[in-house]
Structure 1
Amino acid sequence: MSWRIIKIETSGKLSFQNNQLRYDNYVSQESLFFPTEDIAVLILESLQISLTSALISELSEKSVTIIFCNGKHRPVSVLSPIGKPFRQTETAFLQIGMTQSMCNRLWQRNIRQKILNQSFVLKSVSPETARLLKEISERRTIEENDVAESRAARIYWQNLFSESFVRHHEDATNAALDYGYAIIRNVLINRIAAHGLIPCLGIHHHSVLNNFNLADDLIEPYRPFIDRTVFLFPPQDDDILTKEMRERLISVLKAPCFIDGQKTIVLNAIDRTVCSFIKAIKEKNAEYFLFPEFIKDDE
């Protein structure tokens, strides 16, 4: 399985040569080579990078996530592959055929794991509050699930950062969170497309203005992995998302985690989550839907 995450932040040219990505750095005048079979994610931070169509075709064939950033280094676009025709048609019909009851059960499991992961993040801050979140995650009905998510979020943010913290305000902490979420969201978008799912058809998010409702559903249990990094390494500059901070957030893709009892990294867990979603709707059984869990300190 591909594993390499490449971030290009200096002007240059990317091309395909001898089954490798070739990067000609215009500043250092050096050329670097990376086997394309090793590449999982390619992040382009410079606005002065050119890519050949041969490279784009090769990376798309290998379902590599290619993320484009703007002048402020924030992800603004992702290049997604087209799923295999036989898989795409079959999977699309399964997705379209989801009942509301099935969507509710999938969403309930999704949010439960998100709150459990939030509880883990809070353990080092407030063990008592972490236990409270774990209790909240046990809500069983769909109605309780919606209330539980809202209540958990309010408790979580106030304890993780401060009582004055407000999500989506323009500050360094929110900028770091948004950057990290965008990286994971774009990888999800890529994997959703690669497996033939319909990106705009979610299980809970249904905005007609959002082409990626499903990614915004599946990302929920992954958000605490970004939150924990921002908490442990808080941004120091209110105006600039530093290179060091961006690299820390990108490295979350290689963070260890458990999924279905097996140790892996977040990058691979994302693919497992997407595949398990397909299996769950195919078997009409939400229990097949899998999510990442933090690895406890003693494991």
Structure 2
Amino acid sequence: MAFRVVMIENEVSMKLKLNNLVLDKEGQEIWIPLSDISVVVIDNLRISITTRMLSMFADKGIGVIVCNMEHLPIGYYSAYDSHSRASKVIKSQISYLREDYDCLWSNIIKSKIKNQYKVLEKLNKSKDVIEAMKDYESSVELGDLGNREAHAAKIYFNELMGSSFSRGNDDLLINSGLDYGYAIVRSYLARMCVSYGLNTSIGIHHRSEYNRFNLVDDIFEPFRPIVDLYVYELLSDEEYFKPEHRHKLVNILNHKIKYKNKEMYISNALEEYVFNVASIITGNFKKLTFPDVNDYRGDKDGV
């Protein structure tokens, strides 16, 4: 299974040789087997990439993230589909009952809120806020018609980051870290969805006609608090968003988590999770297993 996230910041030439990605900087070559690569992050606006390379990446199921001048992910490229029974899975997505989607969404939101207040518990934050979030979790309706997700998110981020915090403020260092971490995990989820034949534009709750990744944004929700916790611990005492922070956030896919009673890398947990989602939609499973912040082990290797 592909496991490497390749981050390219220096100005290098990229080429393909014998099923390897070859990075050439001033005559020094680095060879990386394509079979090892899950995602390539390009964080240098002077790097060129060929259509042949993009075609090969798609064929191998390799996602590509492109960053802007502020070094934040701005675009994602992936294979259109790479599953032998993609049309069958898509038919299941289309025919899946609205009531079942609403039930699935309610469980996703309950899991997200639960992981959010567990983050606050781990950081010894306000018990009153934690209790309020538990009330929000217990009162989530079918399809979250009462929008408990938004209410919980407001008090969660205010308690975690301060009452002046706003997710829309691009000048806040924490937001840069959250955007970067979210983009890394989101792109990996998109890659996994394609691998299992899911059409990422057909969402559970998100239904925007302009969003190619509605489904990804839906199923990502329970994993967001894990990124929140890591970003908080990584950046809360920092003044600038440095290259070393970006390197560590890219590596979040190699952090450890206990999922389905097995310790594994987050990348493996994401694949198991997407397989679980696909199996539910196609009628093979009944229950979706969610990640638990308390089972997040972090970066045991210190990389």
TM-score w.r.t. the length of structure 1 is 0.88
Structure 1: stretches of 5+ with no match in the other structure:
none
Secondary structure, aligned partner of 2:70: coil
SS for the counterpart of 1:118 is helix
- Corresponding residue for residue 223 of structure 1: 224
Aligned twin of 1:126:
125
TM-score normalised by the chain length of structure 2: 0.87
AA of the residue aligned to 2:194: A
Which SS does the other structure have where 2:48 is aligned?
A: strand
The unaligned stretches of length 5 or more in structure 2 are 299-303
**TM superposition shift of 1:268:** 1.8
Partner of 2:14: 14
CA gap 1:297/1:2 in 2 versus in 1, 3 angstroms: closer
CA drift at 1:205: 0.7
Q: How far did 1:297 drift? A: 8.1
Distance 2:167 2:52 in 1: 42
Higher mean displacement: 88-97 or 242-251: 242-251
Distance 1:263 1:137, change over 3 A: farther
Q: Is the CA contact 2:72–2:176 (under 8 Å) kept in the aligned structure 1?
A: no
Using the TM superposition, name which of 254-263 and 137-146 deviates more.
137-146
In structure 2, how many angstroms separate the alpha carbons of the residues matched to 1:297 and 1:90?
A: 34
The aligned runs of 1:80-229 (5 Å cut-off) are 80-84=78-82, 86-123=84-121, 124-126=123-125, 128=127, 129-130=129-130, 132-139=132-139, 141-142=141-142, 146-170=146-170, 171-229=172-230
CA distance in 1, matches of 2:284, 2:59: 30
Farther off after superposition, 162-171 or 223-232: 162-171
Opposite residue 204 of structure 1, the aligned amino acid is H
**Contact preservation (8 Å) 1:65, 1:80:** yes
Deviates more, 1:266-275 or 1:126-135: 126-135
Tell me by how many angstroms 1:44 deviates.
Answer: 0.8
**How many residue pairs align between the two structures?**
294
Deviation string for 1:217-261 (max 9, x for gaps)?
111111112111221122633xx6321221222122112113222
SS at match of 1:76: strand
Q: Return closer, same or farther for 1:178/1:84 CA change in 2, 3 Å cut-off.
A: closer
CA offset digits 1:46-80 (Å, max 9, x no partner): 11223344543333222122111122212122221
Check 1:112–1:261 CA distance in 2 against 1; reply closer, same or farther (3 A cut): farther
How much is the aligned-residue C-alpha RMSD, in angstroms? 2.5
Does structure 1 conserve the Cα–Cα contact (< 8 Å) formed by 2:102 and 2:143? no
Aligned amino acid, residue 36 of structure 2: D
* Structure-2 separation of matches of 1:47 and 1:247: 17
